[in-house]
Amino acid sequence: MMHFSDLLGKNLSSVELVQSAAENDSITFVLTSGEKYKLYHYQDCCESVYIESIVGELSDLIGLPLTMADESVSDTEETDDEVEMWTFYRLATVKGYVDIRWNGSSNGYYSISVDFEPLR
């Protein structure tokens, strides 16, 4: 299993962002080695998981070794009929820093976590 922190020290050749109401939000990281990894959430009924904000320039992550690749998850907040959670992904090179914030909410039955996996 690949962990987001395994990107530390790797060089990216591109970062592909999909942010659309018609598709699931996703970010694909392409390494200079040709390997590809994807951050995403497959939407199901009664849930919403999306990229809420990106602070920094994704282009600052290209071509230099990643000096930071960190994931942190907030505690879930529960109301009478909903569970909410934030997941933060922080990446940096010597050129710049990027903070990606995902927001997830559901009725409590469905997962609101973000997946990170290799693409084949």
pLDDT tens-digit map of 19-50: 877 678 999 999 999 999 999 988 777 788 89
Question: Does residue 90 contact residue 82 with C-beta atoms inside 8 Å?
Answer: no
Let me know how many helices (H) and strands (E) the chain has, helices first. 0, 9
- Going by C-beta distance under 8 Å and a sequence separation of 6 or more, which residues neighbour residue 65? 9, 10, 11, 93
Strands (E), 1-114: 12-18, 26-31, 36-40, 47-55, 68-73, 77-78, 83-92, 97-106
Higher pLDDT, 116 or 79: 116
Q: What is the pLDDT of residues 44-75, one digit of tens each?
A: 777 888 999 999 999 999 999 999 999 999 87
Residue 19 has a pLDDT of: 86
Tell me what the mean pLDDT of segment 7-20 comes to.
Answer: 94
Contact criterion met (CB below 8 Å) for 66 and 10: yes
- Residues with Cβ within 8 Å of residue 73, at least 6 apart in sequence: 85, 86, 87, 88, 113
* pLDDT tens digits, one per residue of 80-114: 788 888 999 999 999 999 999 999 888 776 677 89
d(CA 50, CA 18): 10
